Amino acid sequence: MTWDEVLAYCLAKPGAWRDEPWDDGVVTKVGSKIFAFLGSGENLAIGLKCAPTRDAADEWLSRYPGDAVVMPYIGKAGWNSLRINGAIPPDELTEAIDASYDAAVSRLPKRDRPVPA
């Protein structure tokens, strides 16, 4: 998958939108919640909520050493950076995006949750 394909996949989620809250690139949100950190178009990784806890998210690190790393600052909450076009198969990457999106939606008030397509 390319960076553009990953961005398009994220934005195809119900209620998803692109934001650039900092100088270092793109994030995708649902409501007010970030579910993917994409950085710039030159970025080769995507930051995702990979599990509810750090211990559970560490499974990605053991399965894909070098292609999955703990995200700075928010890694303790289960966020990892997953390399695009590395050893992680595209279907697993999209499943991780789906899970991160679902986690963000679950943290929104019910009235703010998008209607599934």
Task: Give the pLDDT score at 115.
Answer: 83
d(CA 38, CA 51) in angstroms, rounded, equals: 18
Task: Give the pLDDT score at 20.
Answer: 93
d(CA 105, CA 112) in angstroms, rounded, equals: 9
How far is the CA of 112 from the CAs of 44, 93, 105, 107, in angstroms? 31, 26, 9, 10
Q: pTM for this one?
A: 0.93
79 bridge partner residues? 49
Task: Give the pLDDT score at 43.
Answer: 74
Residue type, 37: F
Domain ranges of the chain: 3-109
| CATH of region 3-109 | 3.90.1150.30
How far is the CA of 70 from the CAs of 1, 47, 73, 114, in angstroms? 21, 9, 9, 29
Q: What is the pLDDT of residues 45-78, one digit of tens each?
A: 999 999 999 999 999 999 999 999 999 999 999 9
Predicted confidence (pLDDT) at residue 116 exceeds the cutoff of 80: no
Q: What is the pLDDT of residues 98-111, one digit of tens each?
A: 999 999 999 999 99
Task: Give the pLDDT score at 117.
Answer: 66
Q: What is the pLDDT of residues 17-33, one digit of tens each?
A: 999 988 778 999 999 99
